[in-house]
Amino acid sequence: MKRNGIILEVRDDEALVSLSGAGECDGCEARSACFSLSGRKSSNPESWMKNEKGAQPGDLVELELAPGASLAMITSTFLLPVLLLTAGYFFMMNESDSVRAMGAGIGLLVGIVAAVVINRRLGSKKGFNMSMTRILEKTDCPSSGSNKTMNDSEGNTQ
């Protein structure tokens, strides 16, 4: 998962990044479900992260969540509730229709609660934070946002 952000402040080897809405979440119909399950807000949050690319205030940077972390969060958010719904149904397989439906409902409820807990815990782990991958637009003067140069995918100025 990739997003863009603007560097607000730099301290030592870390940068405060304001995440913009130009990421994968904006086009996803299920983003409200992800935000509610992860406990995060859909607004443009600010986050401190390692400044390995040497970005300066005003620079537009690309941020990425590791594919493994993204896959783990997607699995816990969507697949786990469905699996527990199915398990709840099959656990009550020898009962009446209403009891099977109740088993499926309980399984779904347990799956949603488990997804919320897992996503909140994963979101606080170091490997599940976004990292800066490259500088998209470099600001020559931190006080002026109009004096920008474009960088290619390798970070070279064009």
pLDDT value of residue 63: 83
The residue extents of the domains of the chain are 1-65+129-144, 67-128
Using CA atoms of 158, 138, 124, 23 in order, give the dihedral in degrees to the nearest 10: -60
Between 36-45, 53-62, 96-105, 111-120, the lowest mean confidence (pLDDT) is in 36-45
Percent of the chain with pLDDT over 70: 70
User: 50 burial class (0-12, 13-18, 19+ CB within 10 angstroms)?
Assistant: exposed
Cα atoms found within 13 Å of the Cα of residue 91, Cβ hemisphere only:
14
pLDDT value of residue 146: 42
pLDDT value of residue 154: 52
Closest CA to 116 of 80, 84, 89, 69: 80
pLDDT value of residue 36: 52
pLDDT value of residue 31: 59
* Residues in the chain, total: 158
Q: Spell out the alpha helix ranges (H) of the chain.
A: 31-38, 67-74, 80-91, 97-123
For residue 153, pLDDT beyond 80? no
Amino acid at 69: A
Using CA atoms of 141, 17, 72, 92 in order, give the dihedral in degrees to the nearest 10: -150
pLDDT in tens, 131-146: 788 788 887 754 444 4
Cβ neighbours, 10 Å, residue 141? 12
Work out the mean pLDDT of the chain and round it to a whole number.
Answer: 77
For residue 96, pLDDT beyond 60? yes
Domain 1-65+129-144 has CATH 2.60.40: no
Beta strand 14-19 with 60-64 is unpaired
* pTM across the whole model: 0.54
